[in-house]
Structure 1
């Protein structure tokens, strides 16, 4: 059964479930039902998942926390928050207590629909229930707040990390750094990166790319170049977006020599296979002119 579901053959898994039901000597348990329901939810086939959920009750099989969680997550990702909320209400009615996964799925669903305020209400409900959010819960709300340009609120969520037993990850910081860079406040973005590093959270490729582009857009080209060198010094390999963005801004700023130097560094590190045609046009002749 589980082997079929792992290969996305959920329909065959459902047929096997029916076969088990047809035999009086065997009765599918909550794990069997939940496995097939989860398979349908992952495929976004919520009608089939709901049908099986109802079948559980007909067969007098009691859903467990995992059953409710996969359904809530499935409806949330399908954009059907009315059904997700109904499943949540039903689990409470049946005295099945929600956990951090339940709330994270609900918050994610509401944020996907643009209902961030509802997501924040659920965040506070978690606190009332003494449930600690995990890094995924934080990331969902931080992303959602940044999309609505509520950078101050997103920044406050980052500040809460030091009070939580959570290991900070770059994906939690990057949306906020990006938001401040796009707002032209690169000083605040730099401050957030410093806080990251103080928490032993190393900036990743996306962090550096956001910073480089943000500083270039602000006209702080020298700092962008410095960030690029720092990126290389810690062994973080830039991708073509990073390199092409920096070189493009250098050329627009009338700094062909500096652009040539970046190209030379990239070629020396064998990173040049994905450079744009305009970038490649600088090498190798322009490099030697610059030198």
Structure 2
């Protein structure tokens, strides 16, 4: 967090102390929750807990937002024991959890590498008649892909169609990347086709994953085609994408195509030649300009 935001949260904490010292005004649930949120965003969960205890001691009842902030903060800090304890306290005080509560708990377990615990909460969420949001889906899809449980991740993608959720590229990209890294580019292409059927446009990450995936399989013609489509849609590639494609083209004995990619990138997207030259080896045909 930048210094300005840090100072603001410190000032917020000082403001809380000032309010507490006054006889004509008492902090309410919004005041306490704001300060707790500030500490949580700074990963200062001990201080957030102290303010929460002060809140309870003052007789101010926390609401769902208060608990969600704490559950999310502990989960991101890797302390699932306290995240779950806060969830249990939430239930004990009669405060009903919502989709944000469950998504934060699922995220915490997935960050800790306990995906199956996250899936249990997914089922509990449905038992409480709560509908997942796009982040709930995205977190579980990404976590399953990290564990190479790609077919389960695909099932989650296909479940999207049963919910009123607009598909986003960040939901598909981990699955496409997983299959490409596993050398299964054909299945990755199937997922891409499903993505397009769901009217979900590719983003820069999608194109980069596909280009590198096809290059790794030696499918240079397809990689070039994807790169051209990327440019045609107005999606600007970054240096990683361009350099990876150029490097693979050179290794495949296609220096003219490599130079063409570099040239059109320079002409259309204003990517500096100097940054691209760094990754181009010198032992290519002498009729191709190279760095020395």
TM-score (norm 2): 0.93
Q: Deviations over 1:97-124 (max 9, x none)?
A: 1001000100000100000000000001
Partner residue in 1 for 2:156: 157
Partner residue in 2 for 1:206: 205
Larger mean Cα displacement after TM superposition, 60-69 or 19-28: 19-28
Partner residue in 2 for 1:235: 234
Name the SS for the 1:174 alignment partner: helix
For the 8 Å contact 1:205–1:237, the answer to whether it is kept is: yes
Q: Kindly tell me: are residues 168 and 286 of structure 1, through their superposed partners in 2, closer, same or farther at Cα, counting changes over 3 Å?
A: farther
Q: CA RMSD in A?
A: 2.1
- How many Å separate the matches in 2 of 1:228 and 1:67? 47
Partner residue in 1 for 2:219: 220
- How many Å separate the matches in 1 of 2:288 and 2:267? 12
Q: Kindly tell me: are residues 211 and 76 of structure 1, through their superposed partners in 2, closer, same or farther at Cα, counting changes over 3 Å?
A: same
Mark the runs of 5 or more structure 2 residues left unpaired by the alignment: none
CA displacement at 1:280 relative to structure 2:
9.6
Partner residue in 2 for 1:123: 122
For 1:1-291, what aligned pairs fall within 5 Å after superposition? 8-273=7-272, 274-279=275-280, 286=287
For the 8 Å contact 2:236–2:269, the answer to whether it is kept is: no
- How many Å separate the matches in 2 of 1:214 and 1:172? 18
- How many Å separate the matches in 2 of 1:217 and 1:270? 25
Name the SS for the 1:269 alignment partner: helix
For the 8 Å contact 2:246–2:261, the answer to whether it is kept is: yes
Q: Deviations over 1:136-189 (max 9, x none)?
A: 111100110011010011111001011110000000000000000000111111
Moved over 3 A (4+): 4-8, 278-282, 285-289
Q: Deviations over 1:229-256 (max 9, x none)?
A: 1111111111111110001001111111
Q: Kindly tell me: are residues 287 and 233 of structure 1, through their superposed partners in 2, closer, same or farther at Cα, counting changes over 3 Å?
A: farther
- How many Å separate the matches in 2 of 1:138 and 1:286? 51
Q: Kindly tell me: are residues 251 and 65 of structure 1, through their superposed partners in 2, closer, same or farther at Cα, counting changes over 3 Å?
A: same
CA displacement at 1:219 relative to structure 2:
1.1
- How many Å separate the matches in 1 of 2:238 and 2:289? 24
Q: Deviations over 1:54-100 (max 9, x none)?
A: 00111100000100000000000100000000000011011111001
Equivalenced residues, count: 285
For the 8 Å contact 2:115–2:143, the answer to whether it is kept is: yes
Q: Kindly tell me: are residues 36 and 27 of structure 1, through their superposed partners in 2, closer, same or farther at Cα, counting changes over 3 Å?
A: same
For the 8 Å contact 1:107–1:119, the answer to whether it is kept is: yes
CA displacement at 1:10 relative to structure 2:
2.0
- How many Å separate the matches in 1 of 2:14 and 2:267? 58
Mark the runs of 5 or more structure 1 residues left unpaired by the alignment: none
Larger mean Cα displacement after TM superposition, 266-275 or 104-113: 266-275
Name the SS for the 2:174 alignment partner: helix
TM-score (norm 1): 0.93
Q: Kindly tell me: are residues 278 and 117 of structure 1, through their superposed partners in 2, closer, same or farther at Cα, counting changes over 3 Å?
A: closer
- How many Å separate the matches in 2 of 1:162 and 1:80? 34
